[in-house]
Amino acid sequence: GNSVTQMEGPVTLSEEAFLTINCTYTATGYPSLFWYVQYPGEGLQLLLKATKADDKGSNKGFEATYRKETTSFHLEKGSVQVSDSAVYFCALNAGGTSYGKLTFGQGTILTVHP
């Protein structure tokens, strides 16, 4: 079946540090890939997406590149801020008859200290 694996957390960084959160997936065919962020007490917000191999999604300084050869979609940011502290979820939609279904990784808690 389809699955998403994220790096174990929590991740703790100092402000202005470089961030990488690893995400790998297993899927038949060519899924669409997404990163979502969840702040305490809130729902999920779409951070970025990529729908085909070698696509790069970017938003608010975050980037991720769809790597089909390594089945990965790692999230990166060059300089994190305290306000980036949240839980980050990698997700895929496998296409075909997977209407409206996102398969999520387990989430990575990020804490950024001043």
Partner 1 sequence: KAGVTQTPRYLIKTRGQQVTLSCSPISGHRSVSWYQQTPGQGLQFLFEYFSETQRNKGNFPGRFSGRQFSNSRSEMNVSTLELGDSALYLCASSSTGGFSYEQYFGPGTRLTVT
Position among 19, 77, 93, 112 found at the interface with partner 1 (CB under 8 A) = 93
- Nearest approach, Cβ of 50 to partner 1 (angstroms)? 10
Query: Measured in whole angstroms, how far is the alpha carbon of residue 100 from the centre of its chain?
Result: 18
Does residue 29 come out as left (phi exceeding 0), alpha (psi in the -120 to 50 range) or beta?
A: left
Contact status: 20 vs partner 1 (CB under 8 A): no
Nearer to partner 1, 75 or 91 (CB): 91
Least Cα distance to 20 among 81, 98, 77 occurs for 77
- Nearest approach, Cβ of 75 to partner 1 (angstroms)? 16
Decide if 88 contacts 107 (C-beta within 8 A): yes
Quote the tokens at residue 38. 């969840």
Contact status: 22 vs partner 1 (CB under 8 A): no
x-or-dash pattern for partner 1, window 43-82, by CB under 8 A? xxxx--x-x-------------------------------
Q: CA end-to-end span of the chain, whole Å?
A: 41
Q: For binding to partner 1 (CB under 8 A), which residues are involved?
A: 31-32, 34, 36, 41-46, 49, 51, 89, 91, 93-107
